[in-house]
Amino acid sequence: MGQVRRLAMISLHTSPLDQPGTGDAGGMNVYVIELAKRLAAQGIEIDIFTRATSSALEPVVSAVDGVAVHHVHAGPFEGLTKAELPGQLCVFAREVLRAEASRPVGYYDAVHSHYWLSGQVGALARDRWGVPLVHSMHTMAKVKNAALADGDTPEPSARIIGEEQVVEAADMLIANTDLEARQLVGLYDADPARVEVVHPGVDLGLFRPLDRAATRAELGLPADADVLLFAGRIQPLKGPDVLLRAVAVLLERSPGLRGRLVVPVVGGPSGSGLDRPESLAALAGELGLDDVVRFVPPVSQADLARWYAAATAVAVPSYNESFGLVAAEAQATGTPVVAAAVGGLTTVVRDRHSGLLVDGHDAEDWASALGRIVDDPGLRVRLEAGALEQARQFSWEATAARTLEVYERARLAMRESVG
């Protein structure tokens, strides 16, 4: 366990208690709470600081034994976009420092910040408390801007500058994949000695194979349907429109599929998708897919596991993913994944073993990949077995163990720099 006994986690812009798949809540929320749970199981006390988004929230909520979520009042509770949050950094940081000041001296042994906004606060806490800062980027502006989806908004220069400052300030940086580690070094001039790769995990007890026929019956899906699922926040970055356009091509090629094809879209508008919350439904209508596509509001993790297990394949057509938690979770249920060959998805999905990777976002190419799984039962069976094998590489217990090693490295690095 090293010498980390008490940890301050900072997740400013989104709470680990929020429902993934809506607003700004997504894979990072899952990451923060699942990592915290596993660290708490090792005897570490964790305080997670996040911005309060409702006056009804309790100031402190116990997530599980050893994990307390602090709702920090900083700015208006509602109506504040992520782009406006930098204006609340000073207030948020003041309240975090005030919370620590009420504790005995030397209360926290380390700070772990998530996303660049949290990293700004973490850097201040590091210097004030004299403890190491470990930072996880989760996404990076320079990477996102290099692969924008049509209609998406570039990340502002203020974020890029903020990320560069956090990279410089952190004692250790955690990258989700080898690719992200190279991007930190190449794009942000991070010291390679201060970058460690720690894969996120999957709750293998929750995301597991289920009886497909029974699960489909529970979800109101036909037992013999070909189910092509999208799960995640509905925004250009995630590319749900790519799936719909591919399905339109697939039906044009094989009109007989229409009677048994179901395309559930599980999630809610987020990010730039909030500007046009009905655009995906409108696209489905324009493409003549109203009888095929089902829009499902964000669901709990347990229900999401059922949707994955019920699917023939899960599509992850993102333009960028630092890891791709949806792909990892889907594979853990034994469902093959068709994913864009970008970012962390090339690590999570093993091409032609646990799923299929598609170069680019062309509807014709995506239709061909999806069609291979739909039309070839033998391939589908092989990919299902490969998906389970691939998913076993990722567990939150392993993530927590590796993260603890990074905390200890950060403590050593800080002592050396001070010395």
Contact 411, 4 (CB under 8 A): yes
Q: Is 37 annotated as a binding residue?
A: no
Closest CA to 368 of 359, 110, 170, 386: 359
What is the distance between the alpha carbons of residues 395 and 400, in angstroms, rounded to a whole number? 9
Structure tokens at 233: 């926040």
Q: Is 159 annotated as a binding residue?
A: yes
Q: Is 188 annotated as a binding residue?
A: no
Closest CA to 267 of 239, 225, 246: 239
Q: Is 321 annotated as a binding residue?
A: yes
- What strands, in cross-sheet order, belong to the sheet with 172-175? 60-64, 67-72, 45-51, 6-10, 110-114, 133-136, 172-175, 195-197
Contact 174, 403 (CB under 8 A): yes
Q: Is 27 annotated as a binding residue?
A: yes
Q: Is 24 annotated as a binding residue?
A: yes
Q: Is 320 annotated as a binding residue?
A: no
Q: Name the pairing type of β-strands 293-296 and 261-266.
A: parallel
Q: Is 28 annotated as a binding residue?
A: yes
Residue found by looking up tokens 């508008």 in the block: 269
Q: Is 84 exposed, middle or buried (0-12, 13-18, 19+ CB in 10 A)?
A: exposed
Q: Is 25 annotated as a binding residue?
A: yes
Q: Is 1 annotated as a binding residue?
A: no
Q: Is 308 annotated as a binding residue?
A: yes
Q: Is 142 annotated as a binding residue?
A: no
Q: Is 4 annotated as a binding residue?
A: no
Q: Is 238 annotated as a binding residue?
A: yes
Q: Is 299 annotated as a binding residue?
A: yes
Q: Is 176 annotated as a binding residue?
A: no
Contact 160, 140 (CB under 8 A): no
Q: Is 335 annotated as a binding residue?
A: yes
Q: Is 245 annotated as a binding residue?
A: no
**Three-state SS at 350:** coil
Cβ-based neighbours of 377, under 8 Å, separated by 6 or more: none
Q: Is 13 annotated as a binding residue?
A: yes
Count of CB atoms within 10 A of residue 71's CB?
A: 22
Residues in binding site for Mg(2+): 308, 311, 335
Annotated binding site: 13, 19-20, 24-29, 82, 115, 139, 159, 233, 238, 299, 308, 311, 321, 329, 335
Residues of each annotated binding site for UDP-N-acetyl-alpha-D-glucosamine = 19-20, 27, 233, 238, 299, 321, 329
Binding site for 1D-myo-inositol 3-phosphate: which residues? 13, 24-29, 82, 115, 139, 159
